[in-house]
Amino acid sequence: MSQVENQYNEFLSSIGQLITNVDVNLMMKIMYLERKLPDVDPRVELYIDYKSGVDPMKKQEQMRGKYGFPTQTSIQGLTAVGRMNIDLIEEISKDQDIEHISGSATPASY
């Protein structure tokens, strides 16, 4: 493995240690889009998995009330869609009931 690849892997590992319950590749994609297209936050589709015993319907109402994102529940969690930046993802990830966050990010429409 090259020196560049080693540094990249170390970088990804350090990012993953800052926000442990969010997919590192999702965070990297969001940060890339924030820098490439700084005028508007990326369009993000979050898949939020909750710990066992957490009521996804209650979490759906909290997410809608606090952030206004359209959401859809599933057996383990919910999906939220909207324009989001890395600071907002970090804020959402602080919910103690969240097991893991993954998703996708694309450029938002202007």
- For the chain, what are the domain ranges? 3-106
pLDDT tens for residues 14-56?
A: 999 999 999 999 999 999 999 999 999 999 999 999 999 999 8
* Structure confidence at residue 104 (pLDDT): 97
* Local structure of residue 75 (DSSP, 8 states): S
* Structure confidence at residue 45 (pLDDT): 96
- The whole-angstrom separation of Cα 59 and Cα 46 is 14
* Structure confidence at residue 108 (pLDDT): 86
Mean predicted confidence (pLDDT) in 50-78: 91
- The whole-angstrom separation of Cα 52 and Cα 109 is 36
Token couple for 87: 């600071």
* Structure confidence at residue 110 (pLDDT): 55
Q: Please return the burial class of 16, using the count of CB atoms within 10 Å of its CB with bins 0-12, 13-18 and 19+.
A: middle
- H or E stretch at 78: strand 77-83
3-106 is classed CATH 3.30.530: no
